[in-house]
Every structure is written in C-alpha cells, then in structure tokens.
Amino acid sequence: MKKGVVSHKRWVRGTHFIITLSFLALTISGFVILMSHPRLYWGKAGNDLTPALFELPISRNYHHNGWDKPIAFKNLNHGQKTAVRTYAIFNQNGWGRSTHFLGAWFLVITGSIYLVIGALSGHFRYNLIPRRGEFSLKLIWLDLVGHFRKQTHDTGDYALLQKLTYLLVIFFLFPVVVLTGFTMSPAITASYPFLLKMFFGHQSARTIHFFSAVLLLLFLIVHVLMVIRSGFNRNIKAIIWGN
C-alpha cells in the first residue's frame, strides 16, 4: 500500500455492507409493523382500548376512535368490554414481521462478528477510542464547527466527532435495539425474564426500541450526507474497494 493511502480492511467492508442491507430491511419492515399498530405504550401491556403514551399518524389505523358502541361480554365478571372497528384496518404484519425477524438475525450475527474482530484486531483501540489529550469540549466544538464549514482534515483518520458517534452507535444504540427486540419476544423472555425487568415490560421495550431505531436512522441520514459532502465517489470507492 502506498504511503498516505488509507485502506478499509476486508472484514470492515464486508460487515459494513451486510449491516447496511440488514438495517435498510429492518427500517422498511419496522415501519410497516408500526403502521399496523401506530400506538406506543409504557409498561407491561397495551392495546387499542388502553391509553397510549403517544400515537403516530402514519396509517388509517391511527384513527382509533372509529369504534361501534362497546358491548359487554356475557357471563363474565367485572363487565369486560369489547369493541368493533368501523373501518378497514391496515395490516401487513405477516411479511413485515418475517422480514424484520430475518433482517434482525443478519444484523445480530454480522454485528457480533464485527465486535469480536474489532476487539481482537485492535480496530476499536487504535481507530475509535480517542487518544489521551484528544478529548475535550474545545476540540469537540472545533470539530463540530469544522464539519459545518467543511474544514475537517482528510488524513484518513477518524475525526473526534466521528469516533464519539461511532462508539455511541456501536456500543450503545445497536445493543439497545437488539436487546429491546429480544424483549418483545415472549419465547426469549420466557427463558430470560430479566430482560422484562431491564426494560420495564414488553410495551416499554417496544417504545425504547422505536426511539433507538429513530436515532440510528438519523445517524444513517447524517452519515450519508457527510459522505456526499466530503466526496461521494471517493468515499464509496473506499468502502467498496478498500482504497
């Protein structure tokens, strides 16, 4: 390799490609699943007849007030109620959940490989963890201003904000998304009930999962914008071919 030319290792390029495709599949299928029930709750349980933490107007299922008059079940105590929707619901849960489940395992397996190789090869230690004297509010501010003014260096090293953002995404947001996804599975929580306590119940885990996914999507959008702004062709060649 020529001096001054930065090369992404093959395992970095390979895992980056698979994780990107997995995340795109998860984003699309997750949005479809959310359209089927665009209400988020906090606690152990939640449904159309219980108060929501908030609602998202992203499908006709949002119009939850379209009910017939509640009818009491017969021969049951406490006056349980049922209700019938007065409109055709949007429901694509079948292929949405299947695609989401498949994409999630690609993400988990590939992400685990990335973490193991990254730790053993020193990738995180040498390339992502800020060096002594590099971390300070002043340097963070200068790096932030430099990004807006397009005055960041082009040495091939990660800038301070890049390092901090990648560390946040790799070691916090992705684990939270994965663990909350596990918590929404009754089969998994039956074997590992501590997940329900960690995330305060199934519905709380779903809400945390949603916000974490939104932050990851925002990261992806900003990441792509910075790639375009700093030289799209050069950056794409670097992550595909290595140089």
Q: Residue 208's pLDDT is what?
A: 97
| Alpha-carbon span 61 to 87, nearest angstrom | 9
Q: Does residue 15 contact residue 110 with C-beta atoms inside 8 Å?
A: yes
Q: Residue 160's pLDDT is what?
A: 77
Given pLDDT bands bounded at 50, 70 and 90, which one contains residue 197? very high
User: Rounded to a whole number, what is the largest CA-CA distance in the chain?
Assistant: 82
Does a structural domain hold residue 149? yes
List all residues 6 or more positions away from 146 whose beta carbon is below 8 Å from its beta carbon.
152, 159
In the predicted structure, residue 198 carries a pLDDT above the cut 90: yes
Element (H, E) at 62: none
Does a structural domain hold residue 72? no
Does a structural domain hold residue 108? yes
Does a structural domain hold residue 73? no
CA 126 to chain CA centroid, Å, is: 26
Does a structural domain hold residue 69? no
Q: How many domains does the chain fold into?
A: 1
Q: Residue 13's pLDDT is what?
A: 81
| Alpha-carbon span 185 to 180, nearest angstrom | 9
Q: What does the block give as tokens for 73?
A: 């079940």
The values of phi and psi at residue 40, to 5°, are -120, 140
Domain that residue 26 falls in: 10-63+92-241
User: Can you give the CATH number for the domain in which 136 is found?
Assistant: 1.20.950.20
**pLDDT one-digit tens code per residue, 110-165:** 999 999 998 998 888 888 887 776 667 777 777 666 666 655 545 456 777 788 88
CA dihedral 198, 202, 204, 205 (to 10 degrees): 60
Q: Residue 183's pLDDT is what?
A: 95
List all residues 6 or more positions away from 184 whose beta carbon is below 8 Å from its beta carbon.
202, 205, 206, 209
Does a structural domain hold residue 70? no
Does a structural domain hold residue 5? no
| Alpha-carbon span 82 to 68, nearest angstrom | 10
Once rounded to an integer, what is the mean pLDDT over residues 74-100?
Answer: 69
Given pLDDT bands bounded at 50, 70 and 90, which one contains residue 205? very high
Does a structural domain hold residue 78? no
